[in-house]
Amino acid sequence: MAELTKVFLDEDEIPTHWYNIAADFPNPAPPHLHPGTQQPLQPDDLAPLFPAGLIEQELSTQRWIEIPDEVRDIYRLWRPSPLHRARRLERALGTTARIYYKYEGESPVGSHKTNSAVPQAYYNREAGRMRLTTETGAGQWGSALAFATQIFGQSCEVWQVRNTYESKPYRRMLMETYGATVTPSPSELTAAGRALRERFPDTPGSLGMAISEAVEVAAGDPDASYALGSVLNHVALHQSVIGQEAIKQLAKFGEQAPDFLFACAGGGSNLAGISFPFLRENIEGRMNVDVVACEPAAAPSLTEGEYRYDFGDSSQMTPLLKMYTLGADFVPDPVHAGGLRYHGMAPLVSHAYHEGLLRAIAIKQREAFAAGVEFARAEGIVPASESNHAIAGALRQAKQAAQDGTSPVILIGVSGSGQLDLPAYSEFLAGNMLDA
């Protein structure tokens, strides 16, 4: 009998509930604060930006939250996503490790972002909010929200970080194909954008800047909502379907648990999605998984940031979040992993890191792309620029295992496809990539 190379679950095994790690932290996560009063946020404070269903999830400490049937039915377009055994990569590395990867690139837009875009659009539709604004870095989140809003008959306005708007035109084209309007940020269309352009005339933009513009537009229209693709608690909640599936799939491979879990981390949605269900197993004493957040050296919020309250955007319009941060006005180098170019880390991820439940490493751009190329040549999948950071971290561990003669089980979160990132790969292969 041939050895398994991938495991799928049946559609009826799609998780029925999202998992909320806030219920299981040994010490409670610090609350979000109102920027004016410095007091914990109340539901009404968030009402101008989010519908009631998402506000309830954002502030919840309930362990399991049921996934609406309509959302779960749409999930069936790409969930459950496959878990692969990377046998060819193992052979190419000469490693004694057993390597698995959870691949989210089979979703309609090619990334994990649809896991949250669909429920966010759904709860807004239920609240009668038919205009959604958002930011996007690499374009994965903007594409996901553009797709989701089409399903529910809503309009979608995306502020894309100027650097990736110019360097990743196919992402913009994909968003426009789904019906979204896309504007490079910072722009002249908002007061926040104009002020940022005046302060930073030649800026490549940042996620913090794009958030400011999207928040300003949504806050000024009572029929509009702002949708965020990472950082906030409800986004981490929605992404927990990834890790829940991976636990079941590893068991079908005959593995009790991974020894190491590597996931890229920028705002934190991908890392949270795959790791939080495993962290629950750690907290309950059933597993001992070493969870490693792989962040870009160009935006090292966990490894070099401060753990404090900060704004989520550059114009200081958002609530105050307790997170590891490089400062709301920090503008990262224009690396190709646009989805990771954020100044702070999700509060729930930050709290887990602060509590010692996970660790972090910073990966430079060339090492990340070298790992992505090695992965692609062995496994046939070209990973997203962001995912390359997780692969690079895993390859370090796999090569160490070969030296040590150990056989750890390594799980990698491959958050998306890099088919639209090929110009970045071309730059790397030509030897012209900045090593930021």
CATH number for 198: 3.40.50.1100
Same domain, yes or no: 151 and 90:
no
Question: Does residue 171 or residue 368 have the better pLDDT?
Answer: 368
Tokens 């887990």, residue located: 352
- 436 assigned to some structural domain: no
Could you give the count of Cα atoms lying within 13 Å of 99 in the half-sphere of its Cβ?
Answer: 32
Residue 287 has pLDDT above 80, yes or no: yes
**The two structure tokens encoding residue 246:** 């991976």
The C-alpha atoms of residue 96 and residue 405 are separated, in whole angstroms, by: 7
- 37 assigned to some structural domain: no
What pairs with residue 183 in β-bridges? 159
CA distances in angstroms from 63 to 12, 66, 219, listed in the order given: 21, 10, 30
Same domain, yes or no: 145 and 274:
no
Same domain, yes or no: 332 and 244:
yes
Q: What percent of the chain has pLDDT over 70?
A: 100
Task: Look at residue 336 in the predicted model and tell me its pLDDT.
Answer: 87
- From the list 381, 328, 341, 380, the residue with the least C-alpha distance to 167 is 341
- 53 assigned to some structural domain: yes
Provide the pairing of β-strand 83-85 with 98-103. Answer: antiparallel
Same domain, yes or no: 106 and 117:
no
- 123 assigned to some structural domain: yes
Tokens 């404070």, residue located: 45
Q: Residues near 14 by Cβ (< 8 Å), separated by ≥ 6?
A: 72, 75, 76, 79, 80, 241, 245
Give how many domains the chain has, as a whole number. 2
Note down the domain range covering 88: 6-13+78-111+239-429
For 40-44, 51-55, 244-248, 340-344, which range has the lowest pLDDT when averaged over its residues?
Answer: 340-344
**What is the pLDDT averaged over residues 117-126?**
98
The C-alpha atoms of residue 236 and residue 243 are separated, in whole angstroms, by: 11
Question: For 183-221, how does the pLDDT look when each residue is reduced to its tens digit (9 = 90+)?
Answer: 999 999 999 999 999 999 889 998 889 989 999 999 899
Same domain, yes or no: 93 and 105:
yes
The C-alpha atoms of residue 136 and residue 146 are separated, in whole angstroms, by: 11
- 167 assigned to some structural domain: yes
Task: Look at residue 2 in the predicted model and tell me its pLDDT.
Answer: 65
Same domain, yes or no: 106 and 118:
no
Same domain, yes or no: 329 and 396:
yes
Q: How confident is the model at residue 1 (pLDDT cuts 50, 70, 90)?
A: very low
Question: For 9-44, how does the pLDDT look when each residue is reduced to its tens digit (9 = 90+)?
Answer: 999 999 999 999 999 999 999 999 999 999 999 999
Same domain, yes or no: 383 and 280:
yes
Q: Give the domain-ending residue among 182, 198, 227.
A: 227
Q: Give the domain-ending residue among 175, 195, 227.
A: 227
Task: Look at residue 195 in the predicted model and tell me its pLDDT.
Answer: 93
Same domain, yes or no: 166 and 274:
no
Average pLDDT in the chain: 95
- 39 assigned to some structural domain: no
CA distances in angstroms from 23 to 20, 65, 284, 348, listed in the order given: 6, 11, 12, 11
Q: Give the domain-ending residue among 169, 197, 227.
A: 227
- 35 assigned to some structural domain: no
Q: How confident is the model at residue 147 (pLDDT cuts 50, 70, 90)?
A: very high
For the entire predicted model, the pTM comes to 0.96
- 186 assigned to some structural domain: yes
Same domain, yes or no: 211 and 358:
no
Same domain, yes or no: 315 and 330:
yes
Residue 61 has pLDDT above 60, yes or no: yes
Same domain, yes or no: 84 and 167:
no
